[in-house]
Amino acid sequence: MLAKAGMLDGLRVTTHHTQIELLTRMAPNARVDDSARFHDNGKVLTAAGGAAGIDCALHMVGRFAGSAVATNTAGYMEYSMMS
């Protein structure tokens, strides 16, 4: 949906590894990069699948509430933060 709306133009983005080719076609003006689990472009964040989505969500918690809250949230979830 973001690609179709043109909201990924000029951004560094990723998705699940099985959909990289599709995303590249759908967002020709984006920089599709599968070298990271997620990309934070300010207002638009993209993640490379399910567990990477959790990493991305915890990154957002850290960005808005601080790293201690993100770490505590991950601990509460019994989730080991990847990056």
Residue 82: pLDDT over 80? no
Neighbours of 55 (CB within 10 A): 21
Question: How large is the average pLDDT for residues 56-81?
Answer: 94
The Cα–Cα gap between 62 and 72 comes to 10
The Cα–Cα gap between 26 and 32 comes to 10
Tell me, what's the pLDDT at 80?
80
Which pLDDT band holds residue 68 (cuts at 50, 70, 90)? very high
Residue 23, C-beta contacts closer than 8 angstroms, at least 6 positions apart:
3, 13, 14, 15, 30, 32
How confident is the model over 27-52, as pLDDT tens digits?
Answer: 999 999 999 999 999 999 999 999 99
Tell me, what's the pLDDT at 83?
52
- Angle formed by the axes of helices 50-65 and 67-76, nearest 10°: 140
